[in-house]
Structure 1
Amino acid sequence: MSWPLVNLSTICQIDMGSAPKGSTYVELDSGVPLIAGAADYGDVFPRPKKATLEPTKLCKKGDIIICVRATIGDLNWADKEYCLGRGVAGLRVHDEKLDSKYLWYFIASIEDELYRNSTGSTFPQINKKVIESLEIPLPPLETQKQIAAVLEKADQLRKDCRQMEQELNSLAQSVFIDMFGDPVTNPKGWDKAPLSAIIEEFLGGKSLVAADDQNTEYKNRVLKISAVTSGEFKPKESKPLPNDYEPQGEHFVKTGDLLFSRANTTELVGATTMVFDDHTGLVLPDKLWRFVWKDEKSLSPVFIWQQLCEAGVRKEISKLSSGSGGSMKNISKGKLNTLQVVLPPLELQQKFERIYLKLRVELSNNQQQVKFADQAFNSLMQKAFKGELNL
């Protein structure tokens, strides 16, 4: 079934945000309108951030707030009246013709199209004309509500899966703190030692120039720093190496490696991850180190890794870094060797490792569910706005 395409500007009020007049900002509990903005305030989606005594355009409760700069297409609901700041727009539907939730999911389905119509290389943005020119399939209002209800249920399934992922990650951290306490303050009085007591060396790769021929198949790839910074190993964050370069055998990544980022921003320097799966042809760069243990049988690498991921320990690692600018910090092997770690009895370390690995299996299963839920939701969206959804 196909529905007529209707220009969005004829069934929806579109208000573009702008910077508030003057520079007077007040506290959030002042009772004056909040500014809903994204790009100016570093948010990843439109989120109320500050308040102003001189509001410009306002949106009302129930309006859709959409990002028009940087994170184009991100959406949020206005739960009360807001001042529309620069970087966002407010969408208010004509209730007798358009269901707001139906519009929400339609915009979510065309995010790629919005980016294609953006301008600007540093800060991509879309203007009012782009939004006004959107053509939306318009079935009867009751059908719109039915479609929105189906998509909302599928969307909630995605959110539930992602929430479970967060809870599993938080559970691993909670178990660590419950068993061992804060590694920095060491309230349980475990033995402590510098990393030099358990590390033979920090082994890094070489600074390599990646290949750039997109038509050639390469046998080896060198990791980017971004392969480590999220805490989960990402082998796809890598670049091809010329086929005539033969890396040293010890530079290849292998299962069980604990990898450490020696250079990054203040927040990300010292990021670590463990390699749990087999990967062929992945090579270390000079900015990533592998921990080479003095006696791996005397400790649990998983326990040491999770300890290095704790917030307090990350701060201690950051303190060891140097660099004049805020954009990139470095850690020397000598300073990293001085980092103090707690060393509980081996059986406790191994007990935690067993618990963590079980949680990791659950996390892997949940990630598959997230992938499935995303695919199902995207498929439903494509069918919904083509009139192919069986209601």
Structure 2
Amino acid sequence: MALGETAQFINGAAFKPTDWENDGLPIIRIQNLTGSGEKFNYTARQVKSELIVEPGDLLVSWSATLDVYRWAGPRGVLNQHIFKVLPKQGIDPDYLFFALKTALSELTAKTHGSTMKHVVRSDFESTHVAVPPLDEQRRIVDLLSRAEGIVKLRRDAEKKAAELIPALFLDLFGDPATNPKGWPTSLFGAVGVLDRGRSRNRPRDAKELYDGPYPFIQTGDVSNSGGRITGYTATYSEAGLAQSRLWKRGTLCITIAANIAKTGVLEFDACFPDSVVGFLPGEQVRTAYVQAWLGFLQPTLEANAPQAAQKNINLEILRNLPIPLPPLALQELFEQRCSDVISIQSQQSAAKAKAQATFNALLAQVFAATA
């Protein structure tokens, strides 16, 4: 059955900044679905009742991010590039949720645009999914919901593990913004080597610079690293290395453009451009301490970053940040405990990935069998 026959898909409205107000209903945007931006804009603008979203409604993002979501709330109005899904008679909403997961996975390979993916409505609605009798739909939902529940448990465990290091930092050192334990302070630029990466060549995308043996790290690699940079998406050639700089394994990478003050520790020697800063600790600090300290400052640094085409901060802002200096022995204790936590995080991430892979395989198997 074509998706267009399983449900009515209602596209959201286009809201301009002039529609934003301090009260009214929240505008549900794609970033509110993905979690990349959880703050709402609000509007008091009157819209059709069909554009009101209630908790429990199915929503499909069809541009930039292609996925289906169960809206957890609050009540809001639907922004453009998102479909509200109204299942037709004989279609179980939870079954349709899983069917849409499968369909969108297939459509992803056919999306238009390399940087801004989207699906054409006609292609979307003409995509076929298996629709068995209602009793069979509910049996499939029960099976897949159990597998999905395991993924959620693993995801929650991974999230809790990620909260351990900040909690440990506060316990040992106190809030770095107020320094309640009265540690002596210095400027960040004075406690180690703090320099921008290099990419002198213009144009920067010259082919001769790439596809060699030297890993080339960019801001996205840092911000998506989870704190440890274990992979890369590009490499420099000898010509690329000649106009850059090779930083050693263990360097703390700090983004200063687009994503501000996101950090990751290199697990291998690598080059990076001037949108990333490298830090190597001196005798007064340890890398794990500095990375956790920056984690507390990151929201403030990003919120205050000037923005032209994209947000950015300069190196002097980082160099002049006051940093508390607890005793090295305490920092080293923290570093050891961080190592233990990272091991736990790695185990949780692996368990989540395995659970997700099992769910994906089961999802594909179920819909292949019902096709």
Superposition TM-score tier, normalisation by shorter sequence: 0.7 to 0.9
Residue from 7, 12, 17 that aligns with 1:17: 12
Give the superposition deviation at 1:256. 2.2
The amino acid that maps onto 2:300 is K
Q: How many angstroms apart in 1 are the aligned matches of 2:170 and 2:292? A: 10
Q: How many angstroms apart in 1 are the aligned matches of 2:29 and 2:319? A: 41
Given the two structures, how large is their TM-score scaled by the length of structure 2?
0.81
Give the greater-gyration-radius structure (CA).
1
2:254 aligned with 1:260: yes
Q: How many angstroms apart in 2 are the aligned matches of 1:109 and 1:377? A: 12
For 1:3, the equivalent position in structure 2 comes to none
RMSD: 3.7
Give the superposition deviation at 1:192. 1.0
Residue 141 of structure 2 aligns to a residue whose secondary structure is helix
Residue 227 of structure 2 aligns to a residue whose secondary structure is coil
For 1:170, the equivalent position in structure 2 comes to 163
Given the two structures, how large is their TM-score scaled by the length of structure 1?
0.77
2:229 aligned with 1:234: yes
Q: How many angstroms apart in 1 are the aligned matches of 2:109 and 2:199? A: 38
Residue from 280, 283, 286 that aligns with 1:292: 280
The amino acid that maps onto 2:277 is W
Give the superposition deviation at 1:375. 0.8
Name whichever of 234-243 and 118-127 sits farther off.
118-127
2:263 aligned with 1:272: yes
The amino acid that maps onto 1:99 is D
Residue from 52, 64, 72 that aligns with 1:70: 64
Q: How many angstroms apart in 2 are the aligned matches of 1:127 and 1:203? A: 42
For 2:143, the equivalent position in structure 1 comes to 150
2:310 aligned with 1:327: yes
Residue from 68, 86, 90 that aligns with 2:84: 90
Q: How many angstroms apart in 2 are the aligned matches of 1:55 and 1:203? A: 49
The amino acid that maps onto 2:273 is P
CA deviation digits over 1:190-247, x for unaligned, max 9? 111123442255374443545648xx96322322122223452435444222345555
Counterparts in 2 of 1:94 and 1:343: CA distance versus 1, 3 Å: same
Q: How many angstroms apart in 2 are the aligned matches of 1:78 and 1:92? A: 16
For 2:334, the equivalent position in structure 1 comes to 352
Counterparts in 2 of 1:125 and 1:289: CA distance versus 1, 3 Å: closer
Give the superposition deviation at 1:139. 1.8
Give the superposition deviation at 1:337. 3.1
Give the superposition deviation at 1:105. 0.7
For 1:159, the equivalent position in structure 2 comes to 152
Structure showing the higher helix proportion among its residues = 2
For 1:362, the equivalent position in structure 2 comes to 344
Residue from 322, 331, 337 that aligns with 1:340: 322
For 1:54, the equivalent position in structure 2 comes to 46
The amino acid that maps onto 2:13 is S
Contact 1:14–1:128 (CA<8 Å) still a contact in 2?
no
Name whichever of 140-149 and 380-389 sits farther off.
380-389
After TM superposition, list the pairs within 5 Å mapping 1:205-244 onto structure 2: 205-208=198-201, 209=204, 212=207, 218-230=212-224, 232-243=227-238
Name whichever of 43-52 and 380-389 sits farther off.
43-52
CA deviation digits over 1:334-356, x for unaligned, max 9? 55333211111122111211211
For 2:300, the equivalent position in structure 1 comes to 315
For 2:367, the equivalent position in structure 1 comes to 385
Give the superposition deviation at 1:305. 1.9
2:93 aligned with 1:100: yes
Counterparts in 2 of 1:270 and 1:100: CA distance versus 1, 3 Å: closer
Q: How many angstroms apart in 2 are the aligned matches of 1:304 and 1:81? A: 41
Contact 1:20–1:54 (CA<8 Å) still a contact in 2?
no
CA deviation digits over 1:109-152, x for unaligned, max 9? 22243345655777654454334323221222211111111111
Note the residue ranges of structure 2 that are not aligned, 5 or more in a row: none
Across the two proteins, how many residue pairs are aligned to each other?
Answer: 362
Note the residue ranges of structure 1 that are not aligned, 5 or more in a row: 1-5
For 1:302, the equivalent position in structure 2 comes to 288
Q: How many angstroms apart in 1 are the aligned matches of 2:314 and 2:75? A: 48
Give the superposition deviation at 1:92. 2.1
Counterparts in 2 of 1:110 and 1:338: CA distance versus 1, 3 Å: same
Residue 269 of structure 1 aligns to a residue whose secondary structure is strand
CA deviation digits over 1:43-77, x for unaligned, max 9? 34599864545221516765422223332333234
